[in-house]
Amino acid sequence: MKRIGLVVHPRRELDRALASVHAWAAAAGVAVVQVRMPGIDRVVADEGDAATCDVIVAMGGDGTTLAALHAGARVGKPVLGIACGSLGALTATSADHVDEALAAFAAGHWERRHLPAITVTAEGAGTFTAINDVVVLRNGASQITVSIDVDGDRVVGFAGDGIVIATPLGSSAYTLAAGGPVLAPRADAIALTPLAPHGGTAPPLVVARGSETVLTVEPGYYGARVEIDGHVADLPAKTLTLGWRRDYALLVSFEGAEPFFAGLRRRGILADSPRVRARAAR
């Protein structure tokens, strides 16, 4: 390993983790650079190109790791997530174990976790990609109308606040909070969850990756916007065609990593019913 690229949280406390990275790199003769992200003014190292790095180390939480995964995906580089706070779904280790994680990666003792992504092609306006989810939302007080067609067959048209379009990874976030399904990690499928539909019957929908799924959006008086892995943009077009990239990004994992559902249970996102908990306590 010759070079580490850092992607950092803009405000979170990182001093201990940064000191560990720099100390390990100095001892191992490895250069450290910072892969700069839009909107991040924090400077922790000289700027460098992600394409020249052996690994991109994301320091913060899942949001920081998502940003690093997009940067790594563009140049085919793996991402190692370091949790500076609570351990999330994408971080492989905590700030207390940075040197062990770097040593294991340098020795090749790591596992490759390939992450899929959703692609959304906006008619006449290009394609954008999300590892977690794409959300189409109303911009103001008025509702928007969303129609869903799968393989040329109309599923439903509804008026409401919008729709969440999620990968299996993202299905445990906004999708779950909005009453949608959680998809198992190996599911090659996309979850579509209407937000506050007004009347009619518009249940959550799971679509196989090979299906042609088209959304037609009619913005209300105040318009609509999209959120791509949390980044807000104007709605670029009324017709959105969904696609699937099976191995879009590469995340570093280590032996004994916490399973997906175990992580959701640890963080209280999934919880047994009171009756089941009471029975287990007896």
Alpha-carbon torsion (256, 257, 258, 259), positive or negative = negative
Give the phi and the psi of residue 36 in degrees, each rounded to 5: -75, 140
Tell me which of 62, 133, 161, 229 is the catalytic residue: 62
DSSP 126: -
Partnered with residue 7 across adjacent β-strands are 58
Bridge pairing between strands 79-83 and 55-60: parallel
Length of the chain: 282
Q: How far, in Å, CA of 114 to CA of 168, rounded?
A: 12
Q: Is residue 62 annotated as part of the catalytic site, yes or no?
A: yes
CB contact set of 207 (below 8 Å; sequence gap of 6+)? 150, 189, 190, 191, 192, 213, 242
Q: Tell me which amino acid residue 172 is.
A: S
Q: Tell me which amino acid residue 168 is.
A: P
- Tokens, residue 123: 């008619």
Give the phi and the psi of residue 131 in degrees, each rounded to 5: -85, -35
- Give CA angle at 54 (112, 188), nearest 5°: 30
Catalytic residue list:
62
